[in-house]
Chains A and B, each alone.
Chain A
């Protein structure tokens, strides 16, 4: 435990196929945006935080828990990290109903106690009428809502979202943005959000990490980074 460390502290280095990823940042913000063009390495950083991939060198600390520290040979496997991951294309389990999907992570984390109540999440995300359905019958927006519920119910210490608004029409994007705001404000789970959309950053984020070509080029509040 390190009292002085930020809620999220990331420092990772990776060189692969001529691409160098060298990213370091800290954040105590309720919603941190990793902003940059596609191919800049934002999703790689997210995968490293989740433990889905290992950095060549680096250290990742979430809420006082050291999850990766290559110098000390620490690498917590993804299933023990308690990190909620909302994938770009939702990645719902096709053979399970919506209800089984959202209870999947909850069951594995039952020992931790449920910080977030099932019925509240179902209500906030408006998925009560979808519970008996299969993912294949859901629209894009509905899939995102279910994926968000599933991640929240796994009692995460932090919620990672990989472009959750990409591929949605404007009406759906507004709807999901509202939901992300409510999740951010009501459930007190810090969110790290990957995007290349300026509007989303301005509306949702309190801290921006701007990444270009695998390097951090600016950090600060949206107005610091982009001007007002």
Chain B
């Protein structure tokens, strides 16, 4: 790792001010992505500004039909939170299959979506559930927030403070895990909103990051059952291909994971 200067911010305002005083700063939450990247010398921020201890970024709130998860809440704290388990158990499940226990103790929802790894789990949940990303400046819909591989709508120095999820009627998430990295080879989040809309998002599949799968949405809207996905055809065009799987393999995984997710959602 190259030299850097570490700062621990005690509030969002202090973090913003520290960012403004640095030449090339990065925000650090759980560090489960940023630190490995810095160790490989793929990132060399002049300063790292630690958001992990900021109280206003911690915790979960359930208010009516909205579940709000503050940005620096760890996966472990999300997974074990009673409101999360009650309101959107699919999110508790998603966090329980993300990384490994030690990573779940440190990694945060804000860090996951700010990085927007094409195989990260949380982007699929945000897109399928129609979540809203809250920052220190504005609210951004999930559709507008994710803009391709490792790219988001965040501006320099903008800090995610929370994510708000509308509580769905039904939701499920299933993924094929890469056995070593535990990232999603392909993961699919399915949701049926309380107004009957069906939204399906896939991660780990597309060359442009998390995506909606409209063909499966239409099939599930007509008939919410795993069998409804059987007849859907998913094009391999634009899907990721690497040593772990071809684009055609991932196209098929989208269907299989969607079916499993619908079965899990009930």
A binds B: no
**Residues of A near any B CB (own CB < 8 A):** none
